[in-house]
Amino acid sequence: MTFLMKTAALLTGRRPRAVTSLVLLMWLGTAAGPAAAHITLEYQVANAGSYYKANFKVGHGCADSPIQQIIVIIPVGVQGSKPMPKAGWTIDIQRDKLAKPYDDHGRQVTEEVARISWTAKTPADYLPSTHYDEFALQARLPAQAGPLYWAVSQVCEQGRIDWNETPKAGQKGADLKAPAALLEILPTAGAGHQH
């Protein structure tokens, strides 16, 4: 029995098994706290220049109103974004012209995906506020390390929430009311070309 469990057993007067359950429930309660209230990425760390599966976790609608559309704004520097299809949802991809084209496998790329949206085909396909779902895409990350913020909007039958706030200098992410999904890009030495 760990020190934490012994202390909790002494303070609560409960047996070790009950304390284990209590500690587990307390941990789950804190783990599902503020992070569960907004849209987050399943994997929040990746290597610079790597191919990355951005899996956006959606935990609720707009109050009790179901979600009918999810919109992801692709951060500048992210290349070749490809959405994963979802049964019952249509996909719309918006591309923007690049100020500086780049070469990809011998092909000149002059425009890049700027926005991807998933829209429910019918009201029966809406994501109820009491349910959880995920929306995914694959892309190549920028070569430079640092934080990368993904603005995501959820459009509901009634209402809309734009998760697009980023911390200002000296501000903590926990202080934001509608934080953008954060991916921490780590430096990598000699990262190979991989898909």
In tens, the pLDDT along 105-151 reads: 888 999 999 999 999 999 999 999 999 999 999 999 999 999 999 99
Give the tokens for residue 85: 């299809």
Give the tokens for residue 164: 């697009």
pLDDT surpasses 70 at 33: no
- Is 179 within 8 Å of 173 (Cβ atoms)? yes
72 by Cβ neighbours in 10 Å (0-12 / 13-18 / 19+) ranks as buried
How many beta carbons lie within 10 A of that of residue 152, not counting itself? 24
Give the tokens for residue 60: 């609720």
Helices 3-12 and 16-31 sit at what angle, rounded to 10 degrees? Answer: 110
Name residue, tokens 């290349």: 79
Q: Residue 91: CB partners within 8 Å, gap ≥ 6?
A: 83, 85, 116, 117, 118
Average pLDDT of the residues in 9-16:
44
Q: Residue 121: CB partners within 8 Å, gap ≥ 6?
A: 88, 89, 90
pLDDT surpasses 80 at 48: yes
| CA 93 remoteness from chain centre | 18
* pLDDT value of position 169: 81
How many beta carbons lie within 10 A of that of residue 166, not counting itself? 13
Average pLDDT value for the chain: 82
